Structure formats: structure tokens, C-alpha cells
Amino acid sequence: MKQTSRLSELRDVLGAPTTLGDDDNRTFEEQMEDIGVEVERVKVIKPDGVVKPETIWYRGQRKSFRGLKNKISLNNGGVGIGSKIAEVLGGKGARVNIGIYKKGTEKMIAIQKSETGRLSIRQTENNSFRLSSRSLSRWLQSQGMPLGKYLVMEAKGGLLAKPVK
């Protein structure tokens, strides 16, 4: 008695070839038509009048990144800083203090340039600026600051960042 694998049985039921050789002489369109896939050819007319087929690839729904500019972004890895804000604070290597400013029920992130600041601005490989500190991020979240983008405003003695809704 000959033993067959489940895969072989499935191929037999579906009428698929049992070997994966290249002995199929059908075109791509014929193969796709046989399995019920509709193939649509897109034609491009060259300047000399010759029609040439073209393949169009799916690019996804990715938005182009334009940078934070005058915003900051609080995420689990730290605080991303827009280029304009980094410039105001002194750029790469500048030392800053971060705190929470409370006015009534409203809370904002306070940022102050300081020679003795505990955090320094670093520039990433893709030329953005960050305050990379997971503990800073956790502390800001524990103080009630949500993850996301913040609009930065100048204030007496530093900057204030208000969550963008």
C-alpha cells in the first residue's frame, strides 16, 4: 500500500500538478485566468507612438513626514523636538530642564534652557532632534501628560508645550 501525504492528496483534489517543475507552457495571464484572478494591463503610450505595458505598484497609505518644526512629540522612547524648537533651545548638545506647568486644570510641559540641565538635546541619524529618555517619558505620562504631539509656545523663562487635540 502506497502512502501519500496530505499535501499530495490536496493537490490531487484541486487538480494541481504534483511536481513544481517548469513544464507549464502557459503565459502568466493564462495561469492567472485558470485560477480565477483577473489581470488588467495598463498601457502607456511612448512619445514615438509605440504602446508599452506598464506595471503600477501599490505604495501604501504612508503620509510623507514633514518634521515637527514648532512642535514636540511625546512617545514611549522620549521627546522628539522640532527643528525650530531645537534651534531656540540651542541646538545639538544644548542642556535643558523639563517640568510640568499647571494652570487651573490645564497642564503643559515646561522646557527651559539651562547650563546645568539634566537632559541634553541629541541629533538623530535622520537629522531630527530628541531628548531620549524612557524615564522622562514615563514620568511625564505619570504626571498626566498624554502621548502625542504638543504645540510649543514661548513663555517667560522658557517654552510651554500644550497637547494638540
pLDDT tens for the chain, 165 residues long, are: 455 677 777 777 777 765 655 567 888 888 888 888 888 777 766 667 666 677 777 777 666 556 778 899 999 999 999 889 999 999 999 999 999 999 989 999 999 999 888 899 999 888 889 988 899 999 999 999 999 999 999 998 899 999 998
| Distance (Å) of CA 122 to CA 119, 127, 133, 149 | 9, 9, 11, 19
Query: What torsion, rounded to 10 degrees, do the Cα atoms 9, 13, 17, 20 define?
Result: -50
Name the DSSP class of 12: H
- Residue 132 near residue 118 (C-beta atoms within 8 A): no
